Structure 1
Amino acid sequence: MRTRTPVKSGICLLGALIASLLAVPADAGQEDNSLVVAFAKPLTTVDRLYSIQREGLILSRLTDDGLFYVNPDTLEFEPLAAESYEWVNQTRLEVTVRDDVTFHDGSPMTADDVVYTYEWVLNDDADTSRGPVIQSWLESVEKVGPRTVRFNLRLPYPMALRDMAISIPVRKEGTYDGVEGRQNSAEDRPLNGIGPYRIKSFSAGREIVIERFDNYYQASPKANPAIDTMVFRVIPDQGTQQAELLSGGIDLMMDVPPDVADNISHLPGVRRKEGNDIRIGYITLDAGGYADPDSPFTNRKVRQAINYAINREEITRYLVRGSAEVIDFACHPRQFGCEADGPRYDYDPEKAKKLLAEAGYPDGFSFKLWAYREKIIAEAVVSNLKAIGLDVDLRFVKLNVFAKVRNDKDMGAFFASYGSGGTADASASTGVHFAESSARNYSGDPALADTVLAAERTIDTQERKRLYRQALNRIAEQAYWVPLFSYSQNYLLAPGLEFPVPKDGVPRFWQASWSEQ
C-alpha cells in the first residue's frame, strides 16, 4: 500500500533523490481519507494484554477501550467504558459499566465481560504482559449488580485507575477459552475490541490496517473520529521513512530526531510539529557504593559538584532543543506530585571545583560514565566534567548491555532517560527510580525508599503530594541524581494533516483529520 523504494539512512538526502520524490503527489491519504503512519518497531501482536511496546499502546487506544482512559488535555484518569466509579474505602473500588458499548462482533459489553477480563489477568496461567503488576495490588473482582463490578484491592493503590486505563482493555467473556498463555495473542485470533477502530488486517512485522467502527458508542470522548482507515507500516530505517514521507508513501513520522527534522522540515510537502514529552533525561550517581564501596560518589559534596558542573541550560537549548526544558527534580513538572522546594543546582564550575577540593579530590578522579542513547549529549556532559578536572571515560553501549550492567548495580554513574510510560504521576518516575527493590535505585537510602513506598500506599491526594515533596527534597539535598531536561517530540506530517501533539508523548490518532482545501 503506497510503498516506495527504500533508501539508505542518513540525515542528508541526495538532491536528485529529493527532486524525484517531490514529483510524486503527497496527498493520497487526503484523497481517500486514510492515514498512513510509520512504526519504527514491529508489533508481534495486536492484543494489548500481551504487549508492553509503545507501538502497542498507540494502537490499543484506537482498537480498544478500558474502563478508564487518560484525558489528553488534563492527563487525568477518567471513566471510558465505565460510566462512573466510587472508592468505597481505601481498598474497595466499585465501577458502574456503561450499557451502550458494543464489541466489534456486534455483541454488547456487560459487567460479566469486565469480570472475565480481570479474572483472566489475575490468572497466572494466562501469562499476560502486565499480569504480575495487576496481581500485586488486585485481590479479586466480582459482579455485585447488573452493571456494577467490585474490585477488591490487596492494599491501597492510588495508581489502580492508571493501570486499568493503560494496561487492561475489556475483552468479551470467553475470548481466551480453549487456549493457553501467550498463544492467546497468535495472529490467527482476530481482535474483538470495543475501540473506535477495528482490525482489518495484520501482517506481523510489516503492516497493520484498521478501519473505523461505525457502532462505537457516542458517549465516548473518542466517538466519531474523522479518518476512515489507518495503516501502520513498519519502517525501521529513518532514511526510508523520510523518503516515504516525501513521496506520499506515509503521512506521518514520529519520534523524529531534531537534526533530521531540521534538515527536511523546510522542504515542500512536509510540515513539522513539536511538543513536550513526559520523558526526562538524568544522571544517576552511585551514592550507595554498590559498584564500589570506596567510590567518590558516596561523598555528598562530590555528587553536588557533579550537579554544579553540568551546563544543563546549554545542553537543553542547543542539543535537545524544541520545547525541552531544564528540570530540577527527579520527575517531570507535568506529573502529579512533582512539586518540591529543595536545592536547585545552577551551572557553576568554580563552585564544583571548590566542593571537589573540600571532599578531598582537589586533583579530581577517574570514573566511567555509562550511556546508551544520545551520544552527543553524553559527550557534552563528559566535556563539562572534564572542565572541572575529572577524568571521565564514556562507556557508550547498546541498551541490552547497559541494562544488564545497571541491573547488576555495577555502574558508578550513568546517563539515561525515562518516559514513565506516559504517566503524569510522580510514582512513575520518582517511585520507579527510588523504590527499595528497583535496579535503578543507587541511593542506598532506605528512609527515602520508605517515603516513596508510603506515597504509593495511600489514595489521599494531599498526603501523596506531601510525601513526594519530602522524597524529592531528599533526593535534591543529597544530590543522588543530576536531573537534566525534559524531552521534545518532533513529528513530520504531510500537508493538510491535522494532528494535536500529545502532552505525554503518546499520540492519539483518533484526533487526527484532514483539513479542507
Structure 2
Amino acid sequence: MKRCKWRMLCATGFVALTMSFGAAVAGPDDDTLRVAMAEEILNLDYNYTTKREYIILAQLTDTTLFELDPVTQEINPAVATGYEWLDDTTLEVTLRDGVMFHDGSTLTADDVAYTYNWIASSDSESNATGVVDRWLANAEVTSHNTVLFHLKSVYPLVLRDMASRIMLRKAGAYDANGEIDRDAMASSLIGTGPYRVTNFEPGTELVLERFDGFFGDRPEIGTIIVRNIPDIGTQQAEMMSGGLDWMFKVPLDLAESLGATPMAEHSTGADLRVGFLVLDAGGYSDPDGPLTNVLVRRAINHALNTEEMAEYLIGGSAEAIHTACHPAQFGCDQSSIAYPYDPEQARELLAEAGYPDGFPLEIWAYRDKAASEAIAADLTAVGIDVDLRYVKLSSLNQARAAREIPAYFGTWGSGGTADTAAIARIHFAEESDRNMSGDAALAELVLSAEQTTDQAAREEIYSDAIGKIADEAYWAPLFSYSANYLLSPELNFPLDPDGLPRLQNSSWN
C-alpha cells in the first residue's frame, strides 16, 4: 500500500477534502481575507472576554488610548496624543481630535472617562476590571480633549495597561437609561478600530469591513471573514481547496507538511508564552513533603531535558529557558542560575536530600500531552515515581485553589506583554494560588517593582526576584513556545516578536 506523503492530510480523509471544494475561494480577487478560528467566537467585546482569539479580533475592531510597539516595546500615541504626570498619582491624558466610532459619532473625553470608570466599577463585572482596579481611583473629564486619571497609588505600568486592555466605548454603552446591560456590545459592537462589524453569527461567522473613518493607518485588505471551524482537519481541507487564507494554532507536523506543498506556506514566529513546572515548595499540599527541600527542587531542574523538549516537542522557534519569565521580557535577567540537564547530578542531589530511591510525585497537566509525558519520563529516569494526572484546565484550577496539587505543568502568555510584571505578579504575589513558593519576602519583592516609576529600579528588583526564584528552584522553567501559521501563498502576513497576530497589517502579495 502506498503511504500517504502528508501525515495530517491522511487523517482528515478524502471526504472532508472534497466537501470543501465548493467553498468560496479566498484571496485577493475579491479583496477578502478568510481566516479560521477553532475557538467559538460568541462575544465581540474584549472588555468582557479574555482568550487570544478575542485579542486578535479586538486589534481589528477597537483601539486603545496608547499602543505598544511590539518591536521596541515603546508606548506610542493612539487615541491619546500625549500625557503628563501632574504628580506621582495624577495622570493627564490628551485625546486626539476627530476619532470616530463605527456609527459615525465622534469620541469625546466623556466617552473615555465613562469607559474607565465603568470598567473599574463593581457593577461592570468586566474581565478587564482586575487590570484597572489595582491602580485607578477614578477618571475625570477636565476639557473636551483631556482626562485626568487619579491613581490609588504609584503604579508604573499605567500606560502599558492603557495600551493593551481597555477598549473605548460610548458613554452609557453598558447602562443606558439606568439599565445595566453587560452584553450591550457583545454582538452589536461599536468600536473605533480599523474594521467595523457588518455581520455576526455567533459561533459561525464574523464579517468585518474596513472602516473609512478610522483615524490611523488604513489597512490594505478591505474585508476580513472569520469562520469558526473547530476541526483542524476541516480547516486544512479548506486551506488546500483555496477556501481559507490564514490558520493559526497549527500543530507543527501539519504546518510543516502542508507548508511544503504549493497550496500553503508555513510561517513560524516567537511567542511570549512559556512553559514551566511549578513545585510546592511552600508545603501547601504536604507540609513535610519532599518538594519543601531545595535540593529536591534543584534535582528536578537538573533531571529535565528542556532543550530536547523545545526542539522536538514544541518545535519551530521554541527554545529552552531557565528563568521564571520570557527572555524577551523587561526585567527577565538571564544571568540567574541555570540547571543544565544532568541526570546524574539529579540523582546525587536526591540522595543528599535523603531520597536515594526517589519518592512518589503527583504532577498535574492540562495541555501539550507529549511534553507532559516527557516531563514524567525524565523524572522517572532519575528515580522519582511520577503519577501524571492529565486533566481539564478547570479541574486543575479548582484543585490548585484548594491547595491539593504538589506540582503542575503550566504555561503563561503574559497577554503579549513583554514585561516581567505580566508574569511575576500573577505567579508570585502572596494572594495568588499560583504562588506555591511560600516565600512572603519574594512576594513583597515582586510587588515592590510596581511601586516605583523608575525603570532602572524596576529592572533591578525583577533581577533580584528572578534570581531568587532560580536559586531556590521554586519552578522548573521549561521552554518558550512557537506560533505556527499556515498562509495562502498570496498573503503577506508579517510576524511580530510578541507573538500576537495582527491581521490588520496583512496585505496581498
TM-score, normalised on structure 1? Answer: 0.93
Q: How does 1:127-166 map to 2 (within 5 A)?
A: 127-166=125-164
Matched residue type, 1:267: T
Deviations 1:357-415 (A, max 9, x none): 11001111111111111111111111111111111111111111111112222111111
Contact 1:302–1:359 (Cα < 8 Å) also in 2: yes
One-letter amino acid matched to 2:469: I
Match of 1:269 in 2: 263
Matched, 1:415 2:409: yes
Are 1:336 and 2:330 counterparts?
yes
CA distance in 2, matches of 1:43, 1:449: 36
1:483 aligns with 2:477: yes
Q: Distance in 1 between matches of 2:234 and 2:213?
A: 37
Secondary structure class of the residue paired with 1:400: helix
Correspondence for 1:180: 180
Letter in 2 for 1:298: T
Work out which of the residue numbers 390, 399, 408 in structure 1 matches 2:393.
399
Q: Return 147-156 or 124-133, whichever deviates more.
A: 124-133
The residue matched to 1:433 in structure 2 has which SS? helix
Give the match's secondary structure for 2:123: helix
- CA–CA separation in structure 1 for the residues paired with 2:392 and 2:251: 18
Question: Secondary structure of the residue that 2:499 maps to in structure 1?
Answer: coil
Change (3 A) 1:302 1:62: same
The residue type paired with residue 352 of structure 1 is: A
Structure 1 counterpart of 2:386, which letter?
A: V
Render the CA deviation track for 1:197-251: whole Å, top value 9, x for unaligned. 111011111111110011211xx3xx11011000111111111111111122221
Which amino acid in the other structure matches residue 96 of structure 2?
A: R
Query: Which of 212, 220, 240 is the equivalent residue of 2:234?
Result: 240
- State which of 506, 510, 513 in structure 1 corresponds to 2:500: 506
* CA distance 1:115–1:501, change in 2 (3 Å): same
Query: C-alpha displacement at 1:144, in angstroms?
Result: 2.1
Give 1:225's aligned amino acid.
P
* Structure 2 partner of 1:226: 220
Q: Deviations over 1:266-320 (max 9, x none)?
A: 2231111000100000001110000011110000000000001111111111111
1:320 to 311, 314, 328: 314
Following the alignment from structure 1 to structure 2, what is the Cα–Cα distance between the partners of residues 388 and 50? 46
The answer to whether residue 66 in structure 2 is matched with residue 68 in structure 1 is yes
The 3 A distance-change label for structure 1 pair 16 and 170 is closer
CA contact (8 A) 2:21 2:238 kept: no
Seen in structure 2, the aligned counterparts of structure 1 residues 469 and 14 have a Cα distance that, compared at 3 Å, is closer
- 1:398-477 aligned within 5 A: 398-477=392-471
Provide the rounded CA distance (Å) in 2 between the counterparts of 1:465 and 1:411. 32
- Report the Cα distance in structure 1 between the residues aligned to 2:488 and 2:417, rounded to whole angstroms: 29
Distance across 2 between alignment mates of 1:52 and 1:205:
16
Gaps of 5+ in 1: 1-8
Contact 1:22 1:268 in 2 (8 A): no
Is the aligned partner of 1:375 residue 2:369? yes
Do the aligned partners of 1:128 and 1:181 also contact (CA within 8 Å) in 2? no
Cα deviations across residues 452-510 of structure 1 (Å, max 9, x unaligned)? 01012222111110110010000000000011110000000111100012322221111
Residue of structure 2 aligned with 1:194, choices 183, 188, 192: 192
- Residue 5 of structure 1 corresponds to none
Query: Which amino acid letter does the alignment assign opposite residue 420 of structure 1?
Result: S
Mean CA deviation greater in 57-66 or 279-288? 57-66
Shift of 1:40: 1.3
- What code does the residue aligned with 1:252 have? W
Contact 1:126 1:182 in 2 (8 A): yes
* Structure-2 change in CA distance of 1:121 and 1:22 (3 Å): closer
Q: Which residue of 1 aligns with 2:3?
A: none
Find the aligned partners of 2:441 and 2:249 in 1 and give their Cα distance.
Answer: 38
The answer to whether the 8 A contact 1:26-1:494 is kept is: no
- Find runs of 4+ consecutive structure 1 residues off by over 6 angstroms: 21-26
1:257 is displaced (CA, Å) by 1.4
Q: Partner letter of residue 184 of structure 1? A: A
Change (3 A) 1:259 1:309: same
Tell me, yes or no, if the aligned pair for 1:26 and 1:247 is still in contact at 8 Å.
no
Aligned 8 A contact 1:28 1:248 in 2: yes
Residue in 1 aligned with 2:41?
43
Q: Indicate if the aligned counterparts of 2:17 and 2:241 stay in contact, CA closer than 8 A.
A: no
**Contact 2:156–2:451, Cα closer than 8 Å, also in 1:** yes
In structure 2, how many angstroms separate the alpha carbons of the residues matched to 1:38 and 1:175?
30
Are the aligned partners of 2:12 and 2:234 in contact in 1 as well (CA < 8 Å)?
no
Q: Is the 8 A contact 1:292 1:412 kept in 2?
A: yes
Within 5 A, what are the aligned runs for 1:247-396?
Answer: 247-396=241-390
AA of the residue aligned to 2:81 = E
Deviates more, 1:159-168 or 1:292-301: 159-168
Displacement of 1:71 after TM fit?
1.6
Aligned to 1:6: none
Q: Which residue of 2 aligns with 1:57?
A: 55
Rounded to whole Å, the distance in 2 between the matches of 1:313 and 1:126 is: 45
Query: Mean Cα displacement is larger for which, 407-416 or 258-267?
Result: 258-267
Displacement of 1:173 in angstroms is 2.4
SS in 2 for 1:225: coil
* Structure 1 counterpart SS, 2:209: strand
2:4 counterpart residue number: none
C-alpha displacement at 1:30, in angstroms?
1.5
Query: How much is the aligned-residue C-alpha RMSD, in angstroms?
Result: 1.9
2-structure distance, mates of 1:132, 1:20: 47
Q: Distance in 1 between matches of 2:284 and 2:9?
A: 40
**Match of 1:274, SS?**
strand
Check whether the contact 1:50–1:185 (CA below 8 A) recurs between aligned residues.
Answer: no
Other structure's SS at 1:505 match: coil
Which residue of structure 1 lines up, in the alignment, with residue 76 of structure 2?
A: 78
What amino acid is aligned across from residue 184 of structure 2 in structure 1? N
Distance, in Å, in 2 between the alignment partners of 1:285 and 1:126 is: 36
1:15: Cα distance to partner? 7.0
Tell me the number of residue pairs that the alignment of Structure 1 and Structure 2 aligns: 501
Superposition deviation, residue 155 in structure 1: 1.1
Cα gap change, 1:182 to 1:113, in 2 (>3 Å): closer
Task: Check 1:242–1:293 CA distance in 2 against 1; reply closer, same or farther (3 A cut).
Answer: same
In 1, the alpha carbon distance for the partners of 2:9 and 2:344 equals: 38
Structure-2 separation of matches of 1:247 and 1:94: 53
**1:16, CA displacement in angstroms?**
4.5
Q: Deviations over 1:129-149 (max 9, x none)?
A: 212431231001112233211
Amino acid at match of 2:403: K
